[in-house]
A and B are shown apart, each in its own frame.
Chain A
Amino acid sequence: MRVIISDETKVRFRYPARAVGIVGAVLMIVSIFLPWSYGSGALDDVGFYGAPSPLQFAFVVLPVLILLLLAIPLVGKQRLGQWAKTVAWNTSAKTASLATLATVLIGLAAIAIELKGLVNIDVGGFTALVGALLAAVATPFLPDSPEPTLARVKSPTWLQILGIVLMMAGVLFAAAFALNQTDAGAFLTFVAFLVGVVLVLRQLGVMAWIGIAGANNNRVLVLAAFATAFAFPFTQNGSDANMSIASQVLIFAAAALGLNIVVGLVGLLDLGYIAFLGAGAFTAAILSESAFSTLDFHPPFIVVVLISGTVASLLGLLIGAPTLRVSGDYLAIVTLAFGEIFRITMNNLDGNDGPNLTNGSNGIPGIPDLEFLGFNFGDAHVIFGVDIGRFANYYWLMLLVIALIIVVFMNLNYSRIGRGWVAIREDELAAEAMGVNTFALKLLAFAGGAFLAGVAGAVKAHHDVSVTPDQYVFLESAFLLAAVVLGGMGTVVGVLIGATILKLLPEKLRFFSDYRLLLFGLLMVVMMQFRPEGIVADERRQMEFHDEDEELAEEIEEELISHHAHLNPERRGFDL
C-alpha cells in the first residue's frame, strides 16, 4: 500500500507541508508535558502535568529529530552548503514521522487496553496523536531527497571512535531501558520507538557511516561492543530476573552462532542441532557434583567443558561422517531424526529401558554452581556499589564463551577454510573440481559447530541447575534455526539480534505466551516470503536469495569494494 504522490504536487506543496510537519513535531514535544492517561496503570504512569515519565523523555527524541530535519533546511541551500546533499533531510523526516506515528499509536493502544477503554486517554495523548498524524500526513508531500552521502564524508579517527562509543552507549542504554520495562505496553512502545530510531538513522546514512567507521577501527568496535556487553549487569541494580533472561539469551545465542557456521557458512541445514547442546549439558551434568550424577568422576569445570565439547563433536562426527554425502534436503531430515534419537535415548537411559545414565525423564537435578579458582558462581557480591548476583556471573562467563565463538567464527571465515566453505555453498561440484576437500570441510564444520554447542551446553547445565531430556525437543532446534534465519545467515551481529529477539520477546510479552508458537510459525513463513536473507543480510547470502536483481548486485559490490579498501587481509579476524 504505497501512496504515490506526483513530483509536481510535491513541489507545489513543499512549503505548507514543511510548516504542517513542524507544527506536528512541536505538538508532540509539547505533549510530553501533558498527561497521556487518566489512570496510572498504563505505560508506567504517564498521568502527570509537566513531569514527563522516562518513557516520554525517550519518546521525545523522535519529534525533536523531525523538528530538526524540517527546520534546519529553512536556513537555505547556500548556507547549508555541502550538507544540503550530505543529509537526506526530507526523506528522513518522512521516515521519522511514520515511525513516530506508529509509536504513538502503539502507546495509545496500550493505554486503552490496559486501562480498559479509549476514554482513559488524556489530553497529552490526543495532542501527541494529532501531532503525529499531522507530521505523518504532511511529510510525504515534501520532495524526495537524493541518496545521502553522509557515509562518504571523510572524518578524523577520533570522530569515528567517538561515534562508535556513542552508538555503544546508546545500545547499552536502550537495552537496559527495554529490559526494565516490566509492563508489556511500555515495552512494546519502547521497541517501536527503537525500531523507528534505527530506521531514521539508516535513512540518514548514520548507520553506513558507523559501518565504515567500524571497519576502519575494527578493534575499537570490537572492544567497545564487549565493554558495553560487559557493563550491562551494572545497569540492572542487582535484578536477578533480568540477568536471568540476559544469560539465557547468551546461551541461546552461543548455540545459534555454532549453528550459523553449519547453516550460514557451509549451507548445510541441520534440524537436530539442539542435540549437541543437550549432549554438552548432559555430559556436564553427569560429571558434576550433583547428588543425582550417575558417574563417580568429577573433574574441575575447565576439564568438563573440554569433555562436553568433545563429546558433542564426536556425536557430530558420528552423525556427519555417514550422512554428509547425502544431498541437502536429506541431510535436514537425517539430522532431525538424529535429534529425536538423542532425546529418546536420553529418556530411555533410566536403568529401566537401558543402563542408567541420565535418570530418564527426571533428568539430573541439583547441579551445583560452578566453582572456579575458589570463586563460586552462586555467590552474589557488590562491585562499585552495584549488586552482582548469580546470573550476572553466568552472564559474564557466557560472554567469554561467545567472544571465543565469535573469534573462531570470524577467523575461520576469513581463511582458506572459510573460503572453501563458501565455495561449497556456492557450487559444491566446482569446489571439488578445484581441489577443495569438500567432505573434510563439511565434517569440520559439523564437528566444530557441535563442539561450540557442547561448550555452551556445559555452562547451561550449571546455569539451569537441572538437565532433563524434554528441554531438547525438535522445537528448540527449530528456534535455533529461526534465530539464524531471522537474524541473517552467515553474520554474527544478525544472529545475535535474532537470538535476542526470539528469547527476549516471549519473556517480556507474557500476555501472548499462548500465541508465541503460532506467531513463530507465521514469522518463519512471512520472513521467507519477504526477507529471506534476515534482518542483517550477509552480502553473499542476499545475492543468493535475489538472484535476478542486478542492481542489488552492483550495490553490494560497491559496498564490498569500499570495505576492502579499508581492510587488508591482515586486519580481518581477531588476534589471540
Chain B
Amino acid sequence: MTQVMSGAGHHVDASTLLLQASSVTMRFGGLTAVNNVSLDVHAGEIVGLIGPNGAGKTTFFNCLTGLYKPTSGEVRFAGELLPPKPRLVVRAGMARTFQNIRLFHNMTALENVMVGMYSRTKTNAIDAVFRLPRHRREELASTERARELLDFVGLSSAADMLSRNLPYGDQRRLEIARALATDPKLLLLDEPTAGMNPQETRQAEELIFKIRDLGLAVLVIEHDMRFIFNLCDRVCCLVRGEVLVEGVGEVVQNDPRVIEAYIGAPAEPPADVPPPTAEPPASEAGKGSADA
C-alpha cells in the first residue's frame, strides 16, 4: 500500500499534533454559527464530529479549509498558521469532501482525480504547449497515480465514466479519491455515508480504516451514530455552535447531555439508554437534509 500513498506512507508518530484549531468563532451578522470551538487532531487518528442539524459542523469545516475566514480564533496545521484560502490549505496537506457531492460532473472519474493532483504538479503553460519532458513525465505519472487511487477506492473499472453517470455511492468514493489525490496528511469527510444503504456504509467504513492505515488522519462529520462510534478514536459533539463534549467514543456516547441534545429532555435515566445499535431518531431526520 505504501507505494500508493507515496507521500504519507512513512512512519507515523501518533503523538504529532497535526491540526490545532483554537477558539474558532464564526459569526454571520448577528448569528454565531461556531462559538469558541477548539479541536486537535493528531497524526494517524480518526476523529468524529457529531451534533444535531444546525450545530455548525459544516461551518466549522469551512473555517478549517479556508472557505470561510473565522471571525476570531486561529487554525494551525503542523504548527503553521493556515491561511484562509482553500487552495493554500490543500497545499499545506488538508483535503476535504463535500456534504452535497461536488464532483466535476462532466469530467470522467480519472480526470476528476487528476484535477485533485493540480497542487502537487508543476507543469506550466510553456511545458504544456511545447510538450516538454516535464509535461510528459508528469502527465504519465499523474495518470498512473490517478488509476492507482481509483483502484484504491474500488473504482478502477469506472475510470473513463463521466462522474455524473456514477451511482451515488461511487460518487462519494470518487470524491474521496479526488481528495486523496491532493496528497493530504489530514482528510476531512463531510457526511461520507449520507444517503447510503447499510452495505455501502460498511464499505465506506472499511475504506476509511484503509486510509488511516496509510498513515493519514481523518476528521469525519457524520449523523450515523453506529458508524461514528465504530470508526473513531475520539468524538467531539457540537451543539448550537459550541463543543458539548469531547473524548473517546464511550464517554461521548453515554454522556447525558449528548443524548439530550439529540432526543430532547432525557425521558429515562442515562444508564438505560439503548445501545448505539439503535440510531437516535434525530439522526434519521438529519440525513440528506441540508446542514447549515
Contacts and interface: CB of A to CB of B under 8 A. Distances in A.
Direct contact of A and B (CB under 8 A): yes
Interface of A: 407-408, 411-412, 415-420, 422-423, 426-427, 429-438, 444, 448, 539-540, 543-544, 553-554, 556-557, 560-561, 564, 569-570, 573-576
Contacts of B143: 569
Q: On chain B, which size bracket covers the interface?
A: 35 or more
Interface stretch (B14-22, B157-165, B219-227): B157-165
Interface stretch (B23-31, B85-93, B239-247, B259-267): B85-93
A434 B182 contact: yes
A399 B130 CA distance: 19
Contact of B105 (A426, A431, A554): A426
A315 B131 CA distance: 27
Given A433-B67, A436-B87, A575-B131, A419 B118 contact: yes
B119 interface: yes
Interface stretch (B94-102, B210-218, B275-283): B94-102
Nearest to B161: A557
Give chain A's interface secondary structure class.
helix
B162 A556 contact: yes
20 contacts: A415-B139, A416-B142, A417-B123, A422-B107, A426-B104, A430-B103, A431-B115, A433-B67, A434-B179, A435-B95, A435-B120, A435-B182, A437-B87, A437-B118, A444-B125, A543-B105, A543-B164, A544-B106, A554-B165, A576-B130
A127 B280 CA distance: 82
Contact of A561 (B105, B117, B139, B160): B160
A444 B126 CA distance: 11
Give chain B's interface secondary structure class.
helix
B285 interface: no
B158 to A, nearest CB: 10
A416 B123 contact: yes
A553 B96 contact: no
Interface string B123-137: 111011111000110
B125 A412 contact: yes
Given A416-B142, A434-B90, A435-B86, 19 more contacts: A407-B129, A411-B131, A415-B135, A416-B117, A416-B118, A416-B128, A416-B138, A419-B115, A422-B104, A432-B87, A433-B98, A434-B116, A434-B118, A435-B87, A435-B116, A557-B162, A564-B108, A564-B160, A576-B129
A575 B90 CA distance: 33
Contact of B115 (A434, A561, A573, A576): A434
Interface of B: 65, 67, 86-87, 90-91, 95-96, 98, 102-108, 111, 114-121, 123-125, 127-131, 135-136, 138-140, 142-143, 160-162, 164-165, 178-179, 181-182
B214 to A, nearest CB: 19
A564 B86 CA distance: 32
Given A434-B182, A435-B116, A435-B119, A417 B107 contact: no
A32 to B, nearest CB: 48
A557 to B, nearest CB: 5
Contacts of B161: 557, 561
B45 to A, nearest CB: 22
A412 B125 CA distance: 7
Most buried by A among B95, B160, B178: B160
Nearest to B164: A553
B115 A436 contact: yes
A132 to B, nearest CB: 42
A417 B98 contact: no
Most buried by A among B116, B129, B138: B129
A543 B65 CA distance: 30
Sorted nearest first, the 7 A-B pairs with minimum C-beta distance are A435-B119, A435-B90, A415-B128, A540-B106, A430-B102, A426-B104, A433-B86
Contacts of B164: 543, 553
Contacts of A561: 160-161
B160 A430 contact: no
A407 B106 CA distance: 24
B107 A426 contact: yes
Contacts of B91: 435
A273 B123 CA distance: 28
A559 to B, nearest CB: 11
A5 to B, nearest CB: 34
Nearest to A434: B116
B118 A435 contact: yes
Nearest to B110: A564
A422 B165 CA distance: 18
Contact of A412 (B128, B136, B179): B128
Contacts of A435: 86-87, 90-91, 95, 116, 118-120, 182
A404 to B, nearest CB: 10
Contacts of B65: 433
B129 A420 contact: no
Contacts of A544: 106
Contacts of B178: 434
B28 to A, nearest CB: 18
A570 B179 CA distance: 25
Contacts of B142: 416
B128 A411 contact: yes
Most buried by B among A430, A435, A438, A539: A435
B119 A436 contact: yes
A429 B119 contact: no
Contacts of A560: 108, 160, 162
Contacts of B136: 570
A343 to B, nearest CB: 30
A402 to B, nearest CB: 15
Nearest to B96: A433
A478 to B, nearest CB: 27
Contacts of A569: 139-140, 143
A62 to B, nearest CB: 37
B123 A415 contact: yes
A244 to B, nearest CB: 31
A436 B118 contact: yes
B115 A423 contact: yes
